[in-house]
């Protein structure tokens, strides 16, 4: 769902040592691609799975003694990983002739590349490809107008692939001691942090698939009512407080993942935009939750904050969203001139958002447009997702303002107070709760012939 910020490792056409059998060389050759443009990613994933399985098959062929009758599968896997580390696949490597591209680091003292290294990098590549497949499929899910039953079937498909990815991550985590990640190279992909990093992103993707489906359902419910909806009717199908906690869990997973990346991998803008995207999400659910608690003034303030954050036109404003001190810090203003200019622009936007008369003249799906930094750095699926969130926020703002101007007469909470007291990191927010992602670790067929029955990729996605 997230469309992982780091391109997946891709196999390069490097000649293996003569001892490697043709069947394994041929399986690896099927993974060699120039780039991912126009590529059948699911086919690449299937080929990668077959390649990983053949590696284990070959290692077991070389060392049949590691599988005595009645042995524990996990004990066998530990031995296979250790033995795979003794089989060289590529020898006398140079930094300009690596067996994989899109890997981060240098050889150092690692001149030989073993089958254990192949298992590690192939598995991480597979998990990343699964992430791309689910992310690429999101726009079609969000634009679907199918019946509820058909939609439910379609929305389950990302979960199938994310769970499948989790199986491989579980396999690497379970056998991390046998893998001996402390290698004398500096490759991030040969460091256990890479597994933990992808694990957090994979879990965040699952949470996001749940959030995306709910926003899609909310949009359909409002469309079916021709815009004449009540928050009470929406709350019958959505526990707003629970979805707030799912957004918080997603944000926490993203935060941990970002901290695991080494400084040489520069994707700060991606994470900054992703966090702004999640702030819009949390403002949506918080505004609905506070509205039900008869705090419409705070609901309007939350919506104002999200609309101002997402629609600001200054490209520099979202380059850095790490500071939490104020709304101006959020927008990363550079000097006094910009501070005055942006404060005036923000005040105008907030005023416009508070005016139901002005809002009613806007066209929701065409005029509520996220800024160019978000459009450039968010994957297409997340950007389309954000457009739906902003459209819902826009509708809620009209509804909340109309009620507040005629019935409630509450003071609208300013965006500075929203930023300081009601967003991520605030003590006013609950702890995150995520949809659990559980699965058994993956095993090769040479150990467990039943391993693929529950997770077949045939027709797994569209």
- Name every residue whose Cβ is closer than 8 Å to that of residue 56 and which is 6 or more positions away in sequence: 80, 84, 119, 444, 446, 447
Helices marked H in 175-315: 176-179, 192-224, 231-235, 240-260, 268-292, 296-311
Q: Is 74 within the bounds of a domain?
A: yes
Give the model's pLDDT for residue 350.
54
**Separation between Cα atoms, residue 229 and residue 235, nearest integer Å:** 11
Q: Is 446 within the bounds of a domain?
A: no
**Separation between Cα atoms, residue 258 and residue 269, nearest integer Å:** 11
**Separation between Cα atoms, residue 288 and residue 450, nearest integer Å:** 46
Give the model's pLDDT for residue 227.
60
Q: Is 452 within the bounds of a domain?
A: no
348: burial class by Cβ within 10 Å (0-12, 13-18, 19+)? exposed
Give the model's pLDDT for residue 424.
93
- Other Cβ atoms within 10 Å of 38 Cβ, number: 5
Q: What is the CATH number of the domain that holds 202?
A: 1.25.40
Give the model's pLDDT for residue 42.
92
Spans in the chain with pLDDT lower than 70: 1, 146-147, 181-185, 226-228, 312-369, 449-462
Q: Is 158 within the bounds of a domain?
A: yes
- Other Cβ atoms within 10 Å of 391 Cβ, number: 19
Structural domain of 220: 10-421
Split into its structural domains, the chain has a count of: 1
Say which DSSP state 113 is in: E
Cα dist. 459→9, 45, 252, 277 in Å?
24, 13, 32, 31
Give the model's pLDDT for residue 352.
52
Q: Is 459 within the bounds of a domain?
A: no
Q: Is 437 within the bounds of a domain?
A: no
User: Would you list the DSSP string of 197-213?
Assistant: HHHHHHHHHHHHHHHHH
Among the listed residues 9, 119, 124, the one whose alpha carbon sits nearest the alpha carbon of residue 53: 119
Q: Is 277 within the bounds of a domain?
A: yes
Q: Is 429 within the bounds of a domain?
A: no
**CA–CA–CA angle 149, 46, 254 (5° rounding):** 70
């Amino acid at each position: 769902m997230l469309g992982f910020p780091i391109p997946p490792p891709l196999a390069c056409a490097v000649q293996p040592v003569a001892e490697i059998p043709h069947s394994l060389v041929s399986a690896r050759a099927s993974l060699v691609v120039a780039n991912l443009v126009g590529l059948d990613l699911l086919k690449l994933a299937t080929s990668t799975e077959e390649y990983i399985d053949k590696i284990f098959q070959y290692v077991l062929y070389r060392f049949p003694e590691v599988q005595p009758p009645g042995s524990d599968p996990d004990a066998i896997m530990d031995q296979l990983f250790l033995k795979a580390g003794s089989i060289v696949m590529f020898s006398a490597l140079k930094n300009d002739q690596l067996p994989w591209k899109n890997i981060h680091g240098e050889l150092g003292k690692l001149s030989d590349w073993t089958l254990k290294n192949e298992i590690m990098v192939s598995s991480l590549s597979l998990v990343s490809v699964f992430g791309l497949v689910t992310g690429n499929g999101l726009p079609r899910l969000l634009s679907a107008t199918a019946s509820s039953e058909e939609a439910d079937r379609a929305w389950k498909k990302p979960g199938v692939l994310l769970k499948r990815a989790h199986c491989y991550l579980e396999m690497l985590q379970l056998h991390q001691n046998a893998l001996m990640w402390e290698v004398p190279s500096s490759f991030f992909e040969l460091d256990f942090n890479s597994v933990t990093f992808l694990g957090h992103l994979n879990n965040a993707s699952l949470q996001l698939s749940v959030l995306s489906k709910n926003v899609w359902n909310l949009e359909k419910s409002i469309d079916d009512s021709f815009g004449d909806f009540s928050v009470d009717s929406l709350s019958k199908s959505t526990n707003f407080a629970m979805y707030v906690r799912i957004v918080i869990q997603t944000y926490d997973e993203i935060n941990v993942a970002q901290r695991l990346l080494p400084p040489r991998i520069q994707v700060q803008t991606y994470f900054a935009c992703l966090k702004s995207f999640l702030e819009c999400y949390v403002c949506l659910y918080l505004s609905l939750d506070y509205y039900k608690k008869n705090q419409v003034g705070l609901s309007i303030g939350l919506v104002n904050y999200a609309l101002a954050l997402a629609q600001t036109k200054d490209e520099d404003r979202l380059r850095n969203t790490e500071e939490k001190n104020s709304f101006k810090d959020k927008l990363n203003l550079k000097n006094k001139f910009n501070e005055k200019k942006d404060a005036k622009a923000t005040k105008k936007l907030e005023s416009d958002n508070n005016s139901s008369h002005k809002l009613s003249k806007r066209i929701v799906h065409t005029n509520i447009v996220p800024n160019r930094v978000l459009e450039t750095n968010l994957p297409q699926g997340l950007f389309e997702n954000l457009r739906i969130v902003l459209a819902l926020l826009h509708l809620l703002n009209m509804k909340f303002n109309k009620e507040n101007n005629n019935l409630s007469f509450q003071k609208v909470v300013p965006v500075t107070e929203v930023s300081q007291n009601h967003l991520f990191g605030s003590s006013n927010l609950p702890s995150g709760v995520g949809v659990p992602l559980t699965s058994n670790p993956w095993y090769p067929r040479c150990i467990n012939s039943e391993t693929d029955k529950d997770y077949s990729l045939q027709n797994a996605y569209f």
